[in-house]
Amino acid sequence: MKKRIFYLSIVLFTTTMFAQKSVNNYKYVIVPNRFEFQTKTNQYQLNSLTKFLFNKAGFNTFLLSDIMPKEIITNNCSTLTGNVVDESNMFTTKLKIQLVDCYDKTIFETQVVKSKEKDFKTAFYKAIRNAFEEINNLNYSYQPIEKDKPKNTIEEKIVAQSESVKVKKEVIEKEMKKKNADKKEIVVVRAIPNLKKDINTVAKVKKTEIFLKPHNTLVGNYIFERWGLSTISKKENSFSVVGGDENFEFATIYKTSKPTVFIIKWVAFKQPQLLEIDSNGNLKIDSEKGVKTIKREN
């Protein structure tokens, strides 16, 4: 019996350490504005409570509707989604808390906790707080890994390209001096692209996109593959996407700190996606199969 208890203790300890190491590789937690079992946004303030308890446990946490850091936009897989999963029956409130990555893979999950309080709000508050005791025991501390570092910006790529071309130019010049000094100038001109012009063009495009007003440009009609001609309209702090013959609201779009970048949450999927509006008013959605373009119709 003692050997069995000792073995179980080792297994539990190993499982906890593995979960802790995995969770520590993620810098942010995003809490949905509405969990699957709720009938409206932040019902009974459960979502706000969940965000508060994640922050108290040491995580850097945002509600999906909050203005988020630029790093979340450039590196979406540095975040985890904090979900509350309801498994209640008629007599007992049962729930657990999950941390899910950008590939919809569960990184950590608490045990199911119970509450027999009759009042719905009281029962969920008590159960959620009890579930967070297990999350607090993780002693979360962010530990970045190499692959989570953001990719180079456009400006950094242009500088790198410029340095590479500069080296090639020097090599070509030395070779041409040996072969034919008269052709040196012509070859160099062909070998070196007009980087100054390209950089100016990128700067102008970037400047134009920064000053686009998302509340003026996002509203309109678009063609979504499944829903056909659909309409995006402004709500209080978000945008509603409605389409189909029955005018069904199949997605909600939330603003971020960057004027041209948004987060779209589909009704049919748990994991939100990044959405960017280009200078032509078309939508670029970052999906697992690559960037999908939704064309604007007006």
pLDDT higher than threshold 70 for residue 140: yes
- Lowest mean pLDDT segment, chosen from 27-31, 126-130, 200-204, 247-251: 200-204
**CATH architecture, domain 2-147:** 3-Layer(aba) Sandwich (3.40)
Extract the tokens encoding 210.
């920064």
Work out the end-to-end distance of the chain between its first and last CA atoms, rounded to an integer number of angstroms: 73
What does the pLDDT read at residue 225? 78
More confident residue, 165 or 124: 124
Distance CA 296, CA 298 (A): 6
pLDDT higher than threshold 50 for residue 205: no
Is there a common fold for 2-147 and 214-294? no
What does the pLDDT read at residue 215? 44
What does the pLDDT read at residue 147? 57
For the stretch 71-126, pLDDT in tens is 887 777 889 999 999 998 888 899 999 999 988 899 999 999 999 888 888 989 99
Q: Collapsing DSSP states into helix, strand and coil, what is residue 220?
A: strand
More confident residue, 259 or 146: 259
For the stretch 23-44, pLDDT in tens is 999 989 999 999 998 989 999 8
- Lowest mean pLDDT segment, chosen from 131-135, 174-178, 265-269, 275-279: 174-178
Domain 214-294 matching CATH 2.40.128: the answer reads yes
What does the pLDDT read at residue 19? 44
Distance CA 132, CA 58 (A): 12
Length of the chain (residues): 298
What does the pLDDT read at residue 206? 46
Contact 10, 2 (CB under 8 A): no
The residues spanned by each domain of the chain are 2-147, 154-210, 214-294
What does the pLDDT read at residue 297? 85
Distance CA 161, CA 155 (A): 10
Average pLDDT, the chain: 77
Give the residue-averaged pLDDT of 201-224. 58
**CA-to-CA separations, 248 to 18, 240, 267, 287, in angstroms, rounded:** 43, 10, 10, 22
Percent of the chain predicted with pLDDT > 70 = 69
Contact 263, 275 (CB under 8 A): yes
pLDDT higher than threshold 70 for residue 51: yes
| Highest mean pLDDT, choosing among 61-75, 186-200, 208-222 | 61-75
Nearest 5°: CA angle at 23, between 18 and 28?
Answer: 175
pLDDT higher than threshold 80 for residue 18: no
